Structure 1
Amino acid sequence: MSRTRGLLVAVAATLALLGCGLLVGFLDFAAGLQGVEARPNRHADALVVLTGGTDRVSDAIDLLADGQAERLLITGVNPATTPESLARRLPRVRDLVACCVTLGYEALDTAGNAAETAAWVRANRIRSLIVVTSNYHMPRALAEIGHQLRDVDLRPYPVVTETAKLRPWWTSPHRSRLIATEYLKYVVVLARQALLPTPDVADPVMARDDVHDAASLSQAP
């Protein structure tokens, strides 16, 4: 066997092992996605919801109204929305929205959500945090937030759409692509975190304590 042929065989074997590893990892990732929504069994200091998916904000508001936490950060809000719109859509919790919901405008992606959340958590000395996002997005969200808030107790609340509750992911090409894409993003996040140290985030002053319309909140995935 020539040297060149041996090198090609080694590269092919490495790629095959990498592909098998990614496939096994994907199946494990997909199997670990929660298929039902379960209320937190302990009170937390605060909630954070990452905009971008159906029902995320309304579910977070419901958790706040039920007394699961004292305050809520909505991170990744579209700056074109107004504080009054969410209160108009949710009149039953208007007072709660006015007193206990903080708006984060800066995040454009999940990493930005994590930075915005970390800043808010440190500014408010929060020790326990319920994280609200879609079930397929939860692993990456926890990885990003946990990387910046290693000393905070993070408690996931994965939001599951009605379609996902009724149909397993492999029966839907759209959901299969969505989960596969999310898995690859998750792998990239883990690789980046393995190479980079935990960022040193200074305590910020949140720009505004506002809330926005759930229908137009989405900036980050």
Structure 2
Amino acid sequence: MAAAGRQARNETAVWLLRLAGTLLLAALLAYLIGLIGFIQSLEKKAPAALAPADGIVVLTGTPERLSEAMGLLDSGKAKRLLVSGVNPEVTREELRAALKADQALFDCCVDLDWRAENTIGNAIETATWAQENAMQRLIVVTSAYHLPRALRELQSAMPEAELTGYPVFQDQVRLDDWWAYPGTAKLLVSEYTKYLVSFARTYLAPPVPGS
């Protein structure tokens, strides 16, 4: 009887290990399929035409993002620009000088947010800025790989807003043949993982209309 009991426990343990292995393999496969789909869905070029909006928000991270956002403001795509997530050690004048922005345009139409420390913070600060300026239509400027998560967070923070993504590209991030570049591959895996966390968080705590 004791031997039979031990054999049954061993068989159960083996079955549980096989089940765990199968589930782990299935989860890994699902993750890889999702990752490939995520990368394929990323914008590969900037939109050919962009309708004017009430405001533009750019999430800091690379100089290219800021330059593109200033270009959109200068071309009249919106009347105001929010630069969200500015380093607290960077002054307004230092940022303007780094961008080589027109003094009059920068002084009249560019707002800086020094509080946001991450994408969630960007969304909160942008929602506050948009509400204070009675804005409903925003152009969101950030890196192409970051855009899906940024739009997800901003839409969660301001569900009634109309958001248009404007992807920015960097030469060192190769989206077409990403698998051949370890740095790009690592970046995209990290961003996809963050996107899954963001999706789960905003799905489990959906925005309240009118909030």
Instruction: Tell me which residue corresponds to 1:180.
Output: 189
Q: Which stretches in structure 1 are left out of the alignment for 5+ residues? A: 203-221
Counterpart in 2 of 1:101?
A: 110
Matched, 1:34 2:43: yes
Distance 1:199 1:110, change over 3 A: farther
Matches within 5 A, 1:86-97: 86-91=95-100, 93-97=102-106
Matches within 5 A, 1:124-203: 124-164=133-173, 168-198=177-207
Q: Pick from 4, 11, 14: which aligns with 2:13?
A: 4
- CA drift of 1:115 comes to 0.8
The two structures have a TM-score, normalised by structure 2, of 0.88
Using the TM superposition, give the Cα deviation of residue 5 of structure 1 relative to its aligned residue in structure 2, in angstroms.
Answer: 2.3
* Aligned-pair CA distance for 1:167: 6.2
Contact 1:40-1:68 at 8 Å conserved across structures: no
Alignment check: 8 A CA contact 1:118 1:201 kept: no
* 2:3 aligned residue: none
In structure 2, what is the Cα distance between the partners aligned to 1:145 and 1:116?
10
Percent pairwise identity: 39
Distance 1:174 1:17 in 2: 26
> What TM-score results when the alignment is normalised by the length of structure 1?
0.84
Q: Distance in 2 between matches of 1:90 and 1:27?
A: 35
Residue aligned with 2:134, SS = coil
- Structure 2 residue matching 1:136: 3-state secondary structure: coil
The RMSD of aligned alpha carbons is 2.2
Question: Partner letter of residue 31 of structure 2?
Answer: L
Letter matched to residue 20 of structure 1: L
Aligned match of 1:74: 83
**SS of aligned partner of 2:164:** strand
Q: Which amino acid aligns with 1:194?
A: Y
Q: 1:9 to 1:104 in 2, by over 3 A?
A: same
SS at match of 1:130: strand
**Aligned mates of 1:198, 1:170 — CA distance in 2:** 36
CA distance in 2, matches of 1:149, 1:166: 29
**Which of 46, 52, 70 pairs up with 2:61?**
52
Name the counterpart of 1:15: 24
Q: Tell me: CA distance 1:39–1:59, structure 2 relative to 1, closer, same or farther (3 Å).
A: farther
What are the ranges of 5 or more consecutive residues in structure 2 without an aligned counterpart?
1-7
2-structure distance, mates of 1:16, 1:82: 50
Provide the secondary structure at the position in 2 that maps to 1:162: coil
Q: Which has the higher contact order (CA 8 A, sep 6+)?
A: 1
Shift of 1:30: 0.9
Q: How far has the Cα of 1:79 moved from its partner?
A: 1.3
Question: Compared with structure 1, are the counterparts of its residues 76 and 199 closer, same or farther at alpha carbon in structure 2 (3 Å cutoff)?
Answer: farther
- Distance between the aligned counterparts of 2:105 and 2:48, measured in 1? 19
The more displaced of 140-149 and 2-11 is: 2-11
Report the secondary structure of 1:81's partner residue.
coil
Q: Please give the secondary structure, in 2, of the residue aligned with 1:55.
A: helix
What is the Cα deviation at residue 89 of structure 1? 3.8
AA aligned opposite 1:127: Q
Query: Which string of whole-angstrom CA distances, capped at 9 and with x for unpartnered residues, describes residues 1-22 of structure 1?
Result: 7322222222222111111110
